[in-house]
Amino acid sequence: MARGELVICKDPDSVAEKAAEFFIECGRKSIAEHGRFNVVLSGGSTPKLMFEKLAVKLTHATSQIDLKDIYFFLGDERMVPPNSDESNFRMANEMLLKPANVPEANILRFRTELKPNATASIYAAAIREHFDTASGIPAFDLVFLGLGTDGHTASLFPGMEVLHVSDELVSAVFVPQLDAFRLTLTVPVLNAASAVAFLVTGEDKRDVLRRVREGDERLPASLISPAGKLVWFADEAAAGQP
């Protein structure tokens, strides 16, 4: 049995629109229930369109969401300066956070100016401080994730030891195939979320999307089984539809 709810959209633009609407829906619910909305953004190229649409929605009164009640985190990051073209933070900042005029105090980015392990430790500490918890796994309200053709998500790649971490919030990982360090939230953190939304587009993702939804444990994305809702926003090409 396939895991999660599959929302099939006509094209990448429709995926972006549906995902932005889901953000607004989850945001209203979270703020109504506990006064704020804690959301994790994904990196890569797939969420760009969604960020653009979401920035517009958040600046309109019809969203019924006050920006001061939304706190933005990143699911993973490259060990590059925040102004680098490869920075997930820079992409999110330029496409969403700045255009929507999100208060700087509501944005928690990885401090990649430091060494990898220090960056991971500081980010974990910032998360704990935000959730006011010294132990355990805090629960984000919404986590956005992407899906690589190799089944990776965030910076959780096949065969890596970080996949088995059970008590850390953030890990610095060396990815041999990229010859680079990455920073990532761990599986327990992603699975503690009230809602997880994958954005998947393109025919090249068709096979891996099917395998992950069927629970192929060789693929890291198959380990994502949140406590709350799991939704896959996929275009027709990725979903295998005409």
- Decide if pLDDT at 242 tops 80: no
CATH top-level class of 5-239: alpha beta
Instruction: pLDDT band for 178, please (50, 70, 90 cuts).
Output: confident
Separation between Cα atoms, residue 36 and residue 181, nearest integer Å:
32
The stretch 75-94 carries a mean pLDDT of: 96
**Pair 112, 119: CB distance under 8 Å:** yes
pLDDT of residue 1: 65
**pTM exceeds 0.85 for this model:** yes
Concatenate the DSSP letters of all residues of 10-71 into one string.
SSHHHHHHHHHHHHHHHHHHHHHHHS-EEEEE--SSTTHHHHHHHHHHHTSGGG---GGGEE
- Decide if pLDDT at 81 tops 80: yes
User: Domain-by-domain residue ranges, the chain?
Assistant: 5-239
The stretch 129-146 carries a mean pLDDT of: 96
